[in-house]
């Protein structure tokens, strides 16, 4: 199999955003038939569907930029771990319900601000995808924000689980705001979003909510990154092993 080499920076940007969406969508989809009650099972599937839909739009656009017939499925199914560029927070295993909800909340606050900015992109296709996604994220945040309050102010156990989740996730959040040469360059062209600029307001909002919920904010004394360079946690390889199984076992067929 030939590797999908990505040279066009806009294609790479779209693939990065697609990877973030697909990998998180995969984790969310793992809740199907595993949620605490049926209504929540359906709601988590809804959010998963939004993310998978988002991934498909970003990949499809990336393929159009290549103009060589590369499809959404080629990006999703035919790249190995080192050629996946999602931010690490998205690939962490779903954990318990508090972990999944805490991650979702942290990511939802980020995504809502990010997508609002991406709507202003000079790249019309990216702006259009963001326009659709921002509506979904508004709803996602309303949900995850509610859950943070319920878990924080529910029982001692739910607060403890929420607290543990925030501690485990915290070191993965700085990567959300890390700009690299590619995105700095695309920012200068009016295409990419300045992630670094979103940090202060994200930080204020997240702290205010988590503290109101009763969470003690962790000290920012560790951080892990590397997703944009394809240096992942060990979890991603297993996720891809599952995601790509059929395409790898029966290559080159129509399904």
Give CA–CA dist 58/130, Å, rounded. 10
Is residue 1 close enough to count as binding other proteins by CB under 8 A?
no
Of 10, 15, 76, 215, which one interacts with other proteins (CB under 8 A)?
Answer: 76
**Minimum distance of other proteins from residue 253's CB (angstroms):** 6
Kindly report the number of other CB atoms within 10 A of residue 91's CB atom.
26
How is residue 134 written in tokens? 């921002």
Q: Which of residues 4-43 bind other proteins (CB under 8 A)?
A: 22, 26, 29-30, 32-42
| Pick 58 or 177: Cβ nearer other proteins | 58
Shortest reach from residue 96's CB to other proteins, in Å: 7
Distance (Å, whole) CA 86 – CA 79: 12
Instruction: Note whether 96 binds other proteins by CB under 8 A.
Output: yes
Segment contacting other proteins (CB under 8 A): 85-93, 119-127, 189-197, 247-255?
247-255
Question: How many angstroms separate the Cα of 225 from the Cα of each of 40, 97, 202, 211, 238?
Answer: 31, 24, 18, 26, 19
Q: Within 106-135, which residues bind other proteins (CB under 8 A)?
A: none
Residue 157 binds to other proteins (criterion: CB under 8 A):
yes
Binding test (CB under 8 A) with other proteins, winner from 56, 79, 103, 228: 56
* 51, 28 contact by CB (below 8 A): yes
User: If DSSP codes are grouped into helix, strand and coil, which group holds residue 25?
Assistant: helix
The answer to whether 247 contacts other proteins (rule: CB under 8 A) is yes
Chain mean position to CA 167:
19
Cβ within 8 Å of residue 191, ≥6 positions away:
10, 13, 121, 122, 123, 126
Please name which of 109, 214, 108 lies closest in space to residue 151, comparing C-alpha atoms: 214
Question: Is 250 near other proteins (CB under 8 A)?
Answer: yes
Binding-site string for other proteins from residue 180 to residue 199, where x marks contact by CB under 8 A and - marks none = --------------------
Residues that bind other proteins (CB under 8 A): 22, 26, 29-30, 32-42, 45-46, 48-49, 52-53, 55-56, 59, 72-73, 76-77, 96-97, 149-151, 153-155, 157-158, 161, 242-243, 245-247, 250, 253-255
């Amino acid at each position: 199999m030939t590797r999908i080499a990505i040279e066009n920076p806009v294609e790479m940007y779209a693939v990065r955003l697609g990877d973030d969406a697909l990998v998180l969508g995969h984790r969310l989809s793992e809740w199907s038939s595993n949620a605490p009650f049926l209504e929540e099972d359906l709601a988590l599937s809804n959010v998963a569907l939004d993310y998978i839909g988002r991934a498909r739009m970003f990949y499809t656009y990336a393929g159009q930029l290549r103009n060589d017939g590369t499809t959404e499925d080629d990006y999703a199914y035919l790249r190995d771990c080192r050629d996946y560029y999602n931010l690490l927070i998205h690939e962490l295993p779903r954990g318990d319900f508090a972990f999944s909800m805490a991650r979702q909340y942290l990511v939802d606050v980020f995504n809502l601000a990010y997508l609002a900015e991406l709507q202003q992109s000079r790249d019309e296709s990216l702006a259009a995808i963001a326009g659709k996604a921002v509506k979904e994220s508004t709803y996602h945040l309303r949900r995850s924000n509610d859950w943070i309050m319920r878990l924080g102010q529910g029982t001692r156990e739910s607060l403890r689980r929420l607290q543990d989740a925030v501690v485990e996730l915290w070191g993965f959040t700085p990567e959300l705001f890390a700009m690299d040469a590619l995105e700095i360059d695309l920012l200068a062209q009016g295409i990419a979003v300045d992630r670094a600029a979103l940090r202060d307001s994200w930080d204020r909002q997240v702290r205010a909510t988590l503290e109101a919920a009763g969470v003690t904010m962790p000290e920012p004394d560790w951080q892990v990154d590397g997703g944009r360079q394809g240096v992942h946690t060990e979890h991603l390889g297993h996720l891809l092993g599952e995601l790509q199984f059929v395409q790898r076992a029966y290559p080159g067929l129509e399904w």
